[in-house]
Each structure stands twice: as C-alpha cells, then as structure tokens.
Amino acid sequence: MHSYIDSRRFSDNSHLVVAKDVGIGVMSGGISGMAFWIATLPLDVAKTIIQTDPDPQSSRNPFRVLKMVYRRAGLAGCYAGLGPTLARAFPANAAAIVAWEYSAKVLGLRHD
C-alpha cells in the first residue's frame, strides 16, 4: 500500500498529492488523539471527581481517587465516558493535525 501511495501515479497529480497529505494527516491525527485519551482518561476521571466533590476534606490525590473508583466500579469506572471521548478525539485531532500541516506548508516551514 505504501509503495502504491508513493508511486508516480500519485506524485504526478497535485490533487492526489494533496489528498494523500490530508489522508495521512487525518489518520495520524485521529489515531494519535485516540491513543492519548486511552492513556490519560483515568487521570481525567480522577480530576473531574476532585473538581466536582463538594467535600473539602476529601482526598485531592488523583491516585487515591482512582483507587477508590477502581474499588467501587472496577476498570470500567476508570474509563467512564470513553466512547464519547474517543468519538470526539478522532475528528478533533485529525482536524488539528491537518490544519497544522497545511499552515506549515502555506507558510513555507519545513520539518525535515
């Protein structure tokens, strides 16, 4: 597949080159955004619990909060809201990467 995308057929047509660049940006941005949220969502859950807890005496340590969540709801509790988060992460990060790459190309910035 990679050799097909890098073939002369794609490199000779500027529309296909742009489409290839956008496609690579969409996939790399979307997948990396999803990977980020899979890795960090438990800490985000702990942060949300800490921020919304009205008791000032409760623990502010995110690892203790995660331990409590894990005891009460298991691993699923640590990943509460994963579906909507991933549904938002893919398009948001894909758009960000495509916009970044397009801006760099328009400004003539090189990142070799």
The pLDDT score that the predictor gives to residue 1 is 43
pLDDT at 12: 58
Give pLDDT, residue 60.
94
Residue 27: per-residue pLDDT: 93
Q: What is the DSSP letter of 7?
A: S
Tens of pLDDT, residue by residue, the chain (112 residues): 445 555 565 555 565 666 777 888 899 999 999 999 999 999 999 999 999 999 989 999 999 999 999 999 999 999 999 999 999 999 999 999 999 988 888 888 876 6
Q: What is the DSSP letter of 109?
A: -
**Residue with token string 């916009």:** 99
Q: Measured between alpha carbons, how far is 31 from 17 in angstroms, rounded to an integer?
A: 21
